[in-house]
Structure formats: structure tokens, C-alpha cells
């Protein structure tokens, strides 16, 4: 989902942690062609966070999916389906939020007085 086309991306929240990409694909393919699914995971632990972004083929299929599937029960939870917002839209909703800087890798510093164990 590098090149975002406004209106074709869907944000899905409150997804069961037991759900798989295949479960989401089956559910959303009822409304049309699913181009891609991005299940958000924790960068440190790799655990699924319960939200996903789904890219549909057309705007009409996106609207159908939002209207039909919002509040649908998937495994043991009712999912929330809405249009995905771009980063710019999210920033304009909360202008006091700081800009998210690019991540840089940092080496851990060894406190003074301790020897480095190899």
C-alpha cells in the first residue's frame, strides 16, 4: 500500500487476535476484489494489534464493504469498519500532536563504572 489511492483503503478495528489474513480476505471478498491486507503488528514483539488496513479494487466496493460489514461479528468480536485516513488527515485532526520523526537505530550505552560483558 505504498501508493495510496484515496477512497479505496479501509480501516478495520476491534479485530479478534485469533483472526488471520485469510479470515479477513474471505469476509471482505464478499463485497468485491481485495487488493491487499495489512494487519498491524507490534514492531517489538510482533504481536497482532487488532487493527488492519484493507485495499479494495474500486471506490464502489469500498463503500459497499463499509456499509455492509461495519458491526459484523468476526470470530468473537464485532469489527468496526471505516474509511482509512491519510497521515495528513490524521495530523490535521490533532494539530498539537508532534511530528513523528523517522526511526533511527541507536546503540545502547553502557553506564559508567560497568564493564562491557562479551
pLDDT in tens, the chain (118 residues): 444 445 689 999 999 999 999 999 999 999 999 999 999 998 888 899 999 999 999 999 999 999 999 999 999 899 999 998 877 777 677 666 666 566 666 666 666 666 666 6
Is residue 23 situated within a structural domain? Answer: yes
Q: What is the pTM of this model?
A: 0.71
Is residue 61 situated within a structural domain? Answer: yes
Is residue 30 situated within a structural domain? Answer: yes
Is residue 79 situated within a structural domain? Answer: yes
Quick one: which of 4, 3, 6, 8 has its CA closest to 31? 8
Total structural domains in the chain?
A: 1
Is residue 113 situated within a structural domain? Answer: no
Is residue 3 situated within a structural domain? Answer: no
Q: Show the domain range for 49.
A: 10-86
Which pLDDT belongs to residue 45?
87
Q: What CATH number is associated with residue 24?
A: 3.30.70.330
Alpha helices by DSSP H, listed for the chain, are 21-28, 59-69, 87-93
Measured CA to CA, the distance from residue 64 to residue 15 in angstroms comes to: 19
Which pLDDT belongs to residue 62?
94
Which pLDDT belongs to residue 89?
74
Is residue 111 situated within a structural domain? Answer: no
Which pLDDT belongs to residue 31?
93
Is residue 117 situated within a structural domain? Answer: no
- The residue whose grid cell reads 517489538 is 44
Amino acid at each position: 500500500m505504498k501508493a495510496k489511492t484515496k477512497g479505496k483503503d479501509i480501516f478495520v478495528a476491534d479485530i479478534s487476535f485469533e483472526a488471520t489474513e485469510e479470515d479477513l480476505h474471505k469476509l471482505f471478498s464478499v463485497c468485491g476484489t481485495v487488493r491487499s491486507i495489512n494487519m498491524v503488528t507490534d514492531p517489538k514483539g510482533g504481536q497482532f494489534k487488532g487493527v488492519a488496513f484493507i485495499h479494495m479494487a474500486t471506490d464502489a466496493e469500498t463503500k459497499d464493504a463499509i456499509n455492509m460489514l461495519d458491526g459484523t461479528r468476526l470470530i468473537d468480536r464485532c469489527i468496526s469498519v471505516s474509511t482509512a485516513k491519510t497521515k495528513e488527515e490524521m495530523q490535521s485532526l490533532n494539530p498539537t500532536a508532534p511530528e513523528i520523526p523517522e526511526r533511527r537505530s541507536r546503540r545502547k550505552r553502557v553506564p559508567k563504572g560497568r564493564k562491557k560483558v562479551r
